[in-house]
Amino acid sequence: MRLRRAWVYIGGLALTAIISGAAVYAFWFVQPNSDTSLDRDTLFQVAAFNTFSSGNYDGYMTYGELMEHGDFGIGTFDGLDGEMIVLNGVFYQIPVDGKPKQVASSVKTPYATVTFFEADQTFKVSDALNYSGLTSYINSVLPTQNAIYAIKVTGLYSYAKTRSVPMQTKPYPPLTEAIKNQSVFTFNNVSATAVGFWFPKSMEGVDVAGYHLHLITADYMAGGHLLDCIIRNATIQIDQTNKFNLVLS
């Protein structure tokens, strides 16, 4: 596959777009001479969120390829077949029945965001935090509003509400319609880890501005896209990155 690479700077972030096919974006394209060596401090993303969420659910990168770019992250599957979470280098699919299973390397993704997680900040909070309180606390300790942050939150979830979306059929509906048929799960008093990212407002559309978190329980028996929670004895780890690598179909 012939690739073109472009760099652009948004809010202090150095962004690379890797382009395949005929996608046209407002980036300056250059032919790579290029050093394609792995940068462990770069966030790697398959598809711009606005493009994906408009109904582009055909997978075009295998999980075998994606695994080379991170050991931590979130995403989905060909046809929007459930939620993906990767924790400690293991990739899980959480399908519509809510039961996680490991992902085969041959499976493809239409959208995913991964990085190699190395915490820059760690905080322990013993008090109970609901979802709003958790995100407000994290907001208060972020060093800048112009970076991307990988977020990991481990603790006792006295309450958690998650979802998974069923596989879609063509013609694919936009994400706002697809999630109307989501399955919703609730858990009480489970040890679990939330995995995800915070993106600055300047990158709205490239990904979701603000928080996007998925959850998996410590026994790997349940999880999904995190909708709400109450967590106690939380360990919050934050990994800041200023580099972003976007792959387009």
pLDDT on residue 40:
83
Rounded alpha-carbon distances, angstroms, from residue 91 to 60, 83, 103, 142: 17, 11, 6, 27
Q: Could you give the CA distance from residue 240 to residue 142 in angstroms, rounded to a whole number?
A: 9
Q: How many residues does the chain have?
A: 249
Q: Which helix (H) or strand (E) holds 53?
A: helix 49-53
What domains lie within the chain, and their CATH numbers? 4-115 (3.30.1330.80), 121-241 (3.30.1330.80)
Rounded alpha-carbon distances, angstroms, from residue 130 to 34, 138, 237: 46, 12, 17
Beta-bridge mates of residue 214: 195, 225
Encode the chain (249 residues) as per-residue pLDDT tens digits.
334 444 444 455 555 554 444 333 333 222 233 344 467 889 999 999 999 999 999 999 999 999 999 999 999 999 999 999 999 999 999 999 999 999 999 999 999 999 999 999 999 999 999 999 999 999 999 999 999 999 999 999 999 999 999 999 999 999 999 999 999 999 999 999 999 999 999 999 999 999 999 999 999 999 999 999 999 999 999 999 999 999 998
- Kindly state the greatest CA–CA separation across the chain: 53
pTM of the model: 0.88
